[in-house]
Amino acid sequence: MSAPPYPETPDGRYFVAKRRLWRRTDPDLDPKVRETAVRDLMAARRAVRDAADEEARRAARRSVDDAKRRLGERGPVWWSDGARDWTRFSPENSPYADWFAALDVGERTAAGF
């Protein structure tokens, strides 16, 4: 098994890319629900790319948002301990700062630093 392409926080809630924390998919999702949502997300991303006009692009982006919400990557958090959502924060400005500082150069580079 190979290492993930981006560093993942120790609690499994986020990965780091483009210098930001991004929420991971809910690990407790039923595999069939996840598969359907991922398929819908990919189709929606293609629709954004191929949109003929702004109206079609907006509709496609709504579909992307819907799929990401079903995956748990947006909307209410999927964890239940009351912890804040740190999505889009720099790991250096979050409770993950010490963990991130301890990563090796290769992992920090994969994260966009």
Distance of alpha carbon 77 from alpha carbon 62, whole angstroms: 19
CA distance 6 to 70: 22
- pTM for this model (two decimals): 0.87
- pLDDT tens for 62-112 read 999 999 999 999 999 999 999 999 999 999 999 999 999 999 988 888 888
Contact by Cβ (8 Å): 64, 38:
no
| Residue with token string 């993950």 | 96
Alpha carbon distance 65, 46 (integer Å): 13
- Could you tell me what percent of the chain has a pLDDT over 90? 87
The amino acid sitting at 110 is A
pLDDT digits (tens, 9 = 90+) for 17-44: 999 999 999 999 999 999 999 999 999 9
What is the Cα gyration radius of the chain? Answer: 16
